Amino acid sequence: MFVEFRVQGKPPKKDGASSMWGKASEADNIVNLRKAAVKATDGLGVGPFTGRLGIELSIYAEEKVIESMGDLDNFITGICDGLQAADPRANMHERILDECNPYEPILFYSDSKVYDIHARKIPVEGREEGYYELKVFEL
């Protein structure tokens, strides 16, 4: 079983300094990810996966944009955190609370179940805003 979807914009980005959940700069990215994941699972009868998982991430944008948007590893951790339930102790941005329920897992309960990751940034002309494609699959 797998879930696959596309999201406009850039993925949420986690950095070591503080939780992404409380950052205004990441709120739209988190909301967009979570809404797209919910929409992709709607009607599939797929709840959060419980077994070992793999993730494929492809980020598309113009070269000048893609080089300055962030590190690939930070996007992977942002996506993993964004698809599981947020820690209830996390400082939460109000936009996230208004648009989705961050305390419910969407595709997995814990990113410790992710055993395989493939990620890449792909420069494309004419895509300044960019988008990304994500596939989460059972191993």
Q: Which segments of the chain have a pLDDT < 50?
A: none
Tokens of 57: 């991430």
Are 128 and 62 in contact, with CB atoms under 8 Å apart?
yes
Tokens of 20: 């992404």
Q: What is the pLDDT of residues 49-58, one digit of tens each?
A: 999 999 999 9
User: Which helix (H) or strand (E) segment is 94 a member of?
Assistant: helix 94-99
Range of the domain at 82: 2-138
Are 104 and 35 in contact, with CB atoms under 8 Å apart?
no
pTM of the model: 0.94
Instruction: Return the pLDDT at 78.
Output: 96
Match 């797929």 to its residue by tokens: 46
Q: Which among 60, 97, 56, 104 has a CA at the least distance from the CA of 82?
A: 104
CATH number at residue 118: 3.30.1330.70
Strands (E), 9-113: 53-61
The C-alpha atoms of residue 7 and residue 132 are separated, in whole angstroms, by 5
Instruction: Return the pLDDT at 47.
Output: 78
Q: How many domains is the chain built from?
A: 1
Instruction: Return the pLDDT at 44.
Output: 81
- The DSSP result for 65-78, as a single string, is HHHHS--HHHHHHH
Match 């964004």 to its residue by tokens: 82
Instruction: Return the pLDDT at 19.
Output: 87
